[in-house]
Amino acid sequence: MNDASTTTSRIDQGEINGILWRACDTFRGTIDASDYKNYVLVMLFVKYISDVWKDHYAEYQRQFGDDETRIQRKLARERFVLPPESSFDYLHGQREAPNLGELINIALEQIELANKAKLTNVFRNVDFNSEALLGDTKKRNRILKNLLEDFANPRLDLRPSRIGGLDVIGNAYEYLIGRFAASAGKKAGEFYTPAEVSLLIAQLVDPQPGERIGDPACGSGSLLLKCAAEVGSDNYSLYGQEAISGTWALCMMNMFLHGMNNPRIEWGDTLLDPKLLEGDALMRFEVVVANPPFSLDKWGADNAGKEAKHHNRWHRGVPPKSKGDYAFISHMIETTTEGTGRVGVVVPHGVLFRGGAEGKIRRALIEENLLDAVIGLPPNLFFGTGIPAAILIYRRDRNEGTGSQSGARTDVLFINASREFEQGKNQNRLRAEVEVPKIVATYRARKTLDKYAYVASREEIAENDYNLNIPRYVDTFEEEEEVDIGAVQQEISGIEAELAQVRGEMAAALRELGL
């Protein structure tokens, strides 16, 4: 147990992140990153709540001395309860135990039982006693002992009295999720949207105080959290649904570590079984955002026509069985509030121009005056896929005018932001200080910019048969510089002369060698 005298008071986010990432060395080469991320993130969660609990206990001890009854009464009113044998210090003290994996599992189960309203089932996907993943008892105990010792690093002291108001733990959790996404390949798209893309969407939909914010495919919750940060106050509420149970658990921990006390995050398939309901009807939100799985196959088209009428999500048409993009879009739009709702959704480019059922839905959304903007993104931004994507913005306030504008607005803004980005070794990225503010400023200004943005009328889009492919509207053609034929010929002649000279020198050298 470390007190303030043994720990440097200065907090360095980069150092904290580095310590946590090095803790992953315990697992590298042993199990896949998509599996070991759960062990590291759960241990980070336990370490944090243990440090908070220890800090609060010390504060109450200063207030009430040895009056343990009053101390425990105060602790019972905290935002979570930590049973004694579930603390990190207790587990670290048991690191030589022959049944260490079992002890950690019991500790997690006790945390869930003590915090049923907030943490039920959050740890159900993680088994610290798994022989299949962690090996036999000897190997498993060695791995878990190393993990506990890594997290016992004095620099990893996460007590509130030390870190103050800094969101060190939330930032560290997001950092780890991002690093795991970078190494998880195709699976990363299941749980992570790049931070700058989340920031861009959040700023485009511009959540306001008092609004409800929903994400029907919330992954680990980073997009919801970015929207929350844009509000500028604590006056908002967050809602999400996630189909993959392990990812749902990541989201629940992420929300908790960011200090979100009462988010409603449901586990289940949004398209087949929407859980965010009020009575029997879909819950409505002022802001709906998502980065749903691209072109999801077998999303439930066969059952779409059998859905209860009160959901009414497919009245514009049922998307094709093998491509669920417009299923998510239709759901999101139907869950927005009339007159104020905004939608920001990431889609593959095929959504902009594919025909058939998708073409009919796309046309209906435009004719209903819901589509506000189409923003093309650079390629290779998203983990698990290199294909370029776009952001679609839908608004239910277009008939009343938006922002400072009055009257109905029927045009659609196209932005081609695909050519400006920071190129990485394996992944491209939008820069939060460069590309993101440019896109947001262009969206808000809503003016045509040469080779970057174009405001298209409803009539132009209709003439293009409701095809939203961005190059149809934003001309990115660059005229080639006029070629000076004489200069080119002169350059060729110079090269030929140099070549003749080199050949002559080579022939002379070969003759001297008798070759």
Of 91, 173, 202, the residue nearest 181 (C-alpha): 173
- For residues 124 and 264, state if they share a domain: no
Q: Residue 471 has which token pair?
A: 């190059």
pLDDT at 363: 97
Q: Degrees (nearest 5) of the Cα angle 36, 42, 45?
A: 145
Would residue 479 count as lying in a domain?
no
- For residues 49 and 191, state if they share a domain: no
- For residues 166 and 268, state if they share a domain: no
pLDDT tens-place string over residues 215-233:
999 988 989 999 999 998 9
**What is the CATH classification number for the domain harbouring 39?**
1.20.1260.30
**Which residues are paired to 371 by β-bridges?**
394
- For residues 514 and 378, state if they share a domain: no
Q: Domain range holding 32?
A: 4-183
Residue 403's region, left for phi above 0, alpha for psi from -120 to 50, else beta, is: left
- For residues 465 and 337, state if they share a domain: yes
- For residues 466 and 494, state if they share a domain: no
Would residue 312 count as lying in a domain?
yes
- For residues 422 and 465, state if they share a domain: yes
Of 393, 400, 379, 395, the residue nearest 468 (C-alpha): 393
For every residue of 274-306, DSSP letters joined together read ---EETTEEP-BSEEEE-PPTT-SS-SHHHHTT
- Burial of 514: CB neighbours in 10 Å, binned 0-12, 13-18, 19+: exposed
pLDDT at 35: 77
pLDDT at 327: 95
CB 231 within 8 A of CB 206: no
Q: Write phi, then psi, for 416 (nearest 5 degrees).
A: -100, 90
Residue 211's region, left for phi above 0, alpha for psi from -120 to 50, else beta, is: beta
Of 131, 77, 130, the residue nearest 105 (C-alpha): 130
CB 349 within 8 A of CB 294: no
Q: Among 126, 157, 183, which residue terminates a domain?
A: 183
Q: How many residues make up the chain in this entry?
A: 515
Cα 495 to Cα 29, 471, 488, 502, 508: the distances in Å are 54, 40, 11, 11, 20
pLDDT at 6: 41
Q: Which long-range contacts (CB under 8 A, 24 or more apart) does 125-128 make?
A: 125/38, 125/245, 125/246, 125/249, 126/38, 126/39, 126/42, 126/249, 127/101, 128/39, 128/100, 128/101, 128/102, 128/104
pLDDT at 159: 86
How many CB atoms are located within 10 Å of the residue 2 CB? 17
How many CB atoms are located within 10 Å of the residue 246 CB? 18
- Using CA atoms, how far apart are residues 189 and 383, in angstroms rounded to an integer? 6
pLDDT at 402: 57
pLDDT at 1: 41
Would residue 250 count as lying in a domain?
yes
Q: Residue 497 has which token pair?
A: 């002369």
pTM of the prediction? Answer: 0.84
- Using CA atoms, how far apart are residues 236 and 361, in angstroms rounded to an integer? 32
Q: DSSP secondary-structure letter at 422?
A: B
HSE, side-chain direction, 13 A CA sphere, residue 373: 29
- Using CA atoms, how far apart are residues 285 and 237, in angstroms rounded to an integer? 10
CB 451 within 8 A of CB 207: no
Domain count across the chain: 3
- Using CA atoms, how far apart are residues 329 and 217, in angstroms rounded to an integer? 11
CB 253 within 8 A of CB 119: no
Angle between helices 137-151 and 13-23 (to 10 degrees): 170
Would residue 478 count as lying in a domain?
no
Q: Degrees (nearest 5) of the Cα angle 416, 214, 223?
A: 50
- For residues 323 and 273, state if they share a domain: yes
- Using CA atoms, how far apart are residues 359 and 206, in angstroms rounded to an integer? 29
pLDDT at 325: 95
- For residues 297 and 445, state if they share a domain: yes
Q: Degrees (nearest 5) of the Cα angle 155, 158, 164?
A: 110
Q: Among 155, 183, 211, which residue terminates a domain?
A: 183
- Using CA atoms, how far apart are residues 195 and 213, in angstroms rounded to an integer? 18
- For residues 257 and 166, state if they share a domain: no
pLDDT at 376: 95
- For residues 178 and 194, state if they share a domain: no
Would residue 491 count as lying in a domain?
yes
Would residue 20 count as lying in a domain?
yes
**What is the CATH classification number for the domain harbouring 239?**
3.40.50.150
Would residue 157 count as lying in a domain?
yes
CB 107 within 8 A of CB 90: yes
Q: Residue 280 has which token pair?
A: 């029997």
Positions of the chain with pLDDT under 50: 1-8, 186-189, 404, 406
Would residue 480 count as lying in a domain?
no
- For residues 505 and 394, state if they share a domain: no
